[in-house]
Each structure stands twice: as C-alpha cells, then as structure tokens.
Amino acid sequence: MSDLRDLYQELILEHSKAPRNFRAVPDASLHAEGYNPLCGDHFTVYLQMEGDSIRDVAFQGAGCAISKASASMMTQTVKGKTKTEAEEIFHRFHELVTNQPSANGASKGDDLGKLAVFAGVRDYPVRVKCATLAWHTLHAALEGSQQPVSTE
Amino acid sequence: MSSVAKQQASAPYSQHQDTGRFDVERIRLDFPILHHPVRGKTLVYLDNAATSQKPQVVIDAIRNYYERDNANIHRGVHFLSERATEEYERARRTIQHFVNASDSREVIFTRGTTESINLVAQTYGRKNVGAGDEVLVTAMEHHSNIVPWQLLCEEKGARLRVGPIDDRGALLIEEFGKLMGPRTKLVALPHVSNALGTVNPVAELVGMAHRWNAPVLVDGAQAAPHIQIDVQALGCDFYAFSGHKVYGPTGIGILYGKGLLLDAMPPYQGGGDMISSVTFEKTSYNKLPYKFEAGTPNVAGAIGLGAALDYMNGLGIARIAAYEEEVLAYAMEAVSALPDVTVIGTAPHKAGVVSFVIEGIHPHDIGTILDQEGIAVRTGHHCAQPVMQRFNVPATVRASFAVYNTKAEVDALVAGIRKVREVFA
C-alpha cells in the first residue's frame, strides 16, 4: 500500500504553499481556463509566445495542493520550450500519473526531472484530474481554444 | 463476517431488543461491511448522506426474494407471481406506515428521490405551470430539486424563484413567504439539506404555501434516515425519498402524493402495468398507484426497502433520532473546536451532517488524507453548487452520520483532521 508521503511529497507541499509564476499576464498572447467541476478547482493559464516558443507562462486560480503544485511546476518546466516540446512533456507527464510502474521498477518519470514527484498520484486514480488540470489548460491555451476546459 | 454477526443476521435486532439502552455496538454487528478493513484500517464510514450501509436483514431479504420468490408481479396466475406481488405490495404498506400516508395507493415506487421529483415536474408541473407562473425553491437545494424545475420553467416560460438562507444555513422564513404569490404554482423544498444538515420547519412552510393554493413537494432524501416522517402532520402534497439512504438498496425510492392530486395528474411513463385497457385508438390508464408504475418495477428493491424500514422500525425511529442527535451534537462541538476549522451549516435545528472547511487546505486533500486513515467522507460541492456559492467556498468536507456511528468514530475523525494539519504544517 502506498504511503501518504508518496502523494504529498515535500516538493509538492512546498509548491502548493508558494506557487511559482502565480500571477495574471494581462497582455498574454494566449490564455485558457480550466475547471475541475467536482472539486471546484479553477485555473487560468497565460502564455506569452515568441514565435513557436513559450517566452513566459503563468497561472492564477484556486485548487487543491496537487493541482496547484502541478500548475506551479508546469510553468517552471515549459518556460522556454517550444509548443511541440511542451506537448511532449504533457504526454509523458500524463503517462507518469496514470500508469502503474513497470515490472522492473523503472519509473517512467526518470526523464521528467522534478515532475517525477507526481508519480505517487497513480495510486490515487481520483486525483489524476487534479494533477493534470493545469496541463490540459496549457494544451487548450496552446491550441487557442476559446472554450474552458473541464476534466470531467 | 464474524460468527456473532451471522447470529445477529438470523435474528433481527427488533426481535431481541431487551433493554431501553441504545446499544450501538450491537447495531454495528448487523452491518457486515463495517467489519471489513479498508486500507488496512478499521472503516470509519462517515459518508452516509451519500449512501448508507446495509444491514444483513436487507441483504437477506433481497437474496431470499431471488432464491425463493422471484416472478413478475400483477400478471401471473401462478404461485410465485402471487407471492412476489404480495411481498411487493406489503413493502408498499410498510412505506405507507413509515410516512403515515392515509392510503397505500398514495405511495408510488420510483428509482429514487430524483425520479420522484422529475415525475412531479413532468406530470403535475407540465399540466399546472404555465407562462409567467413561478416555482419556488430554497437556496439550500440539492441539484435534483433545482434542475427538474429549471427544465420545466424553461419549457413553459415560467420563473424559478429562490428563497434565501442566512449565514448559518437556515431558511429566511419571512423572505421565503414574500416570494409566494398568486403566480406561485408549486413550492419545492428539502426537509433536511444534504450539504448543510439544516432541518426546515416543513409544516409551517406548507401552511404558508397553501394560503396561495400552491402545493408543496418535500425532498425527504436526507430526512428519512434521521427523523420521523408524518406526511399528514406536515400537510405536504408530495414527499420523496430514496431507499439507499435508509439502509435499503439503490435503484428504489418512493413518491408520496395526495390521492386527489395524483388522480388528476397525467401519467409519467407509458408501458405495461400502468394501463387498464389499450387499443390503437385509445388507452385508459390504471388506477393509483399503478398509473405511475409503468413496466416491470424493481421488485427486489421494493422488498429490500421494506426490510430496511422494518429494521428501522425495530430500532425505533424516535430512539434512532435521539441517539443520532447526541452523536451529531458531539461531532459539531468537537469539529468546531479545532483551530482553523470552520463549520459550514450551523442552523439551530440540524440532522446528520457536519460540513466543514480548513483554512488553507483544500477539501480534496483533506478527503485523501482521511481516506488513508480509513475514514470515508465526502468532499466536493455535494451536488449543491448554489450552497457552495452562498458560502463562498469551492467545496467542503462533509462528515455525515447514521445510526451505527459512534462518538469514538467522531474522535477518529478529529484525530484524522489533526493528521491533515500535520501533513500541511
């Protein structure tokens, strides 16, 4: 059985208490809203693009520790990345939080840097949507979606 | 299940109740699920407002029906069909007495409270609510007592009006009365609020609505497990509750309606059992209550619900209410006393529910950490988003109680909340 500390890692708690890039970007070139209707989580992700690259990224809103920490660490991770690179990280992050660890014990998060702290989420299926809300919202912003994203 | 629990199952509590004392430990033996650990911990089940656990007598009643009595009802001439019909109709009479309806024909089996409300909206509502009319609800409704009326109002060009609540979560009675008038064609309100636990003064509110000739539907989903229901004393026109919240199975519930109103209402769904004769030119409908029970009903569910109410009656509704009140008062005091904890819903008259938030910690995180301790609570908006908006919170943690909960379990909840605060310290 998983231990609580596997989910609530120090780094996650720390980011949830002091989220990075937690601000509005009034002149953002792209932004999108994301909701998690069942728990009431609600974030806006702002992007300042330079060509195909994410020059600046920030977020605002309210949510649980997992969703907030995930949003915070996402902004740190994708800053300076291209759209394609960011989407690829989202893809691997999604695999990390939804898949069971492989039989030989190797973690899929090895190449995800500090985002690997979210590996514990896979033992809590109902919390996957918390961990991915900001990423779905980022994806919607990159796609220029006008519709708010919902994880339900 | 322990051997003691098995013995208990074969002899329902009501048959060997011997002292005046409310013996909760003995009651707990009637519920097999309470003795199965979760996450390696003893289960502390505090999500009873979502659904209650089932005593062995209910589980046995359903199994016995399928093992010995299963047949379709109201149709066959054969032995089993007669027996299934008899059991189904006996369950209806048990419910009649449980809500103190004057006639068993006023008790209609539905899938649950939600279907009961939709039934009234789609039959009474569509017939009697027109353009410019009003349907009045309260600010503490469950979504299932909002959306059916919204659909009706949209279709008819009518207006949904909402009676406000105060900061404790109590209905503002005078304001509610001011919203009534000649255009009020129906009033719908909860007997007990699912998100806040507030108990409404239903009889008084019914009296106010009747002065405008507006019938009143009472959502009793959260009241039926906790307080004595007497539809004649309440004076309400419709009363709905779900089987699974009163220790019965899912997929069964009831609608009580006054006979005169039900008789005048068009049918809800068409099909078998709800007709008296059919030709391609015209169908005449069956009498009450069958007019509203199209198709083969949930026979096992009805029988299970009957067994659940027999079980509650065996314990004594007044004794259940008194015991639960004691546990709730203990929980309200213990949870309120915790630092940084705010209880949402502090109306003077409450039943079954302690809803709360902790400063700086999201309810979802609280729920996950409590779950690790074996404590099952609900976190979220509890299908009552307008209530969350009223109190300006995205969600709450809701601990909700049943007859088998103990003060020791409240202590476990309090210890769990302390653990939450340690994790987030």
Residue-wise pLDDT tens digits, B378-390: 998 889 999 999 9
Size of interface A-B (CB pairs under 8 A): 47
**Cβ contact (<8 Å) for B380 and A40?**
yes
**Inter-axis angle of helices A128-142 and A65-78, nearest 10:** 40
B424 contact residues in A (CB cutoff 8 A): 13, 65
Asked if B364 reaches chain A (Cβ–Cβ under 8 Å), the answer is: yes
Residues of chain A with pLDDT under 50: 1, 103-104
List pLDDT tens digits, range B173-192. Answer: 999 999 999 999 999 999 99
Share of chain B above pLDDT 70, in %: 95
Q: Please report which confidence band the pLDDT of residue B315 belongs to, taking 50, 70 and 90 as the band edges.
A: very high
Beta strands in B122-250 (DSSP E): 134-138, 159-163, 184-190, 216-219, 238-242
B55 pLDDT higher than 60: yes
User: B41-62 as b/e, with b when 16 or more CB fall inside 10 Å?
Assistant: eebbbbbbbbbbbbbbbbbbbb
**Cβ contact (<8 Å) for B368 and A7?**
yes
A13 contact residues in B (CB cutoff 8 A): 423-424
Contacts within 8 Å (CB) and 24+ apart, B293-296? B293/B108, B293/B109, B294/B267, B294/B268, B294/B269, B294/B270, B295/B269, B295/B271, B296/B72, B296/B73, B296/B272
**Cβ contact (<8 Å) for B362 and A64?**
yes
Closest-approach residue (CA) in chain B for A18:
B360
The least confident of B19-23, B30-34, B273-277, B362-366 is: B19-23
Contact B407, B24 (CB under 8 A): no
Average pLDDT on B328-344 reads 97
What are the tokens at B216? 């009143």
Nearest Cα of chain A lies from the Cα of B84 at a distance, in angstroms, of 41
Average pLDDT on B300-327 reads 97
Asked if B143 reaches chain A (Cβ–Cβ under 8 Å), the answer is: no
**Cβ contact (<8 Å) for B381 and A40?**
yes
> pLDDT value at position B404?
98
Q: Which residues of B are catalytic?
A: 383
Q: Please report which confidence band the pLDDT of residue B2 belongs to, taking 50, 70 and 90 as the band edges.
A: very low
> pLDDT value at position B332?
98
Residue B139 DSSP code: T
**Cβ contact (<8 Å) for B379 and A66?**
no
B226 pLDDT higher than 70: yes
Residue A87 DSSP code: H
> pLDDT value at position B16?
43
**Average per-residue pLDDT in chain B?**
94
What are the tokens at B148? 């059916």
> pLDDT value at position B18?
47
> pLDDT value at position B70?
95
B14 pLDDT higher than 70: no
Average pLDDT on B104-126 reads 98
Average pLDDT on B369-385 reads 94
Average pLDDT on B91-115 reads 98
Nearest Cα of chain B lies from the Cα of A68 at a distance, in angstroms, of 10
Nearest Cα of chain A lies from the Cα of B416 at a distance, in angstroms, of 13
> pLDDT value at position A109?
60
- Assembly ipTM: 0.86
> pLDDT value at position B293?
96
User: Which of the listed ranges A111-115, B8-12, B15-19 does the model predict with the highest average pLDDT?
Assistant: A111-115
> pLDDT value at position A2?
54
Instruction: Select from B362, B381, B388 the Cβ nearest to the Cβ of A65.
Output: B362
SS3 B236: coil
Asked if B195 reaches chain A (Cβ–Cβ under 8 Å), the answer is: no
> pLDDT value at position A36?
87
Average pLDDT on B319-324 reads 97
Angle at B97 between CA B302 and CA B21, to 5 degrees: 100
> pLDDT value at position B15?
47
Give the burial class of B138: count Cβ atoms within 10 A of its Cβ; 0-12 exposed, 13-18 middle, 19 or more buried: buried
The least confident of A44-48, B8-12, B139-143 is: B8-12
Closest CA to B373 of B406, B332, B416: B416
Average pLDDT on B122-150 reads 98
B381 contact residues in A (CB cutoff 8 A): 38, 40
* Best residue in A16, A39, A42 for a mutation probing chain B (most B CBs within 10 Å): A39
> pLDDT value at position A107?
53
Closest-approach residue (CA) in chain B for A130:
B364
| CA dist., res. A149 & res. A152, Å (int) | 9
> pLDDT value at position B116?
98
Closest-approach residue (CA) in chain A for B393:
A40
CB atoms within 10 A of CB A5: 12
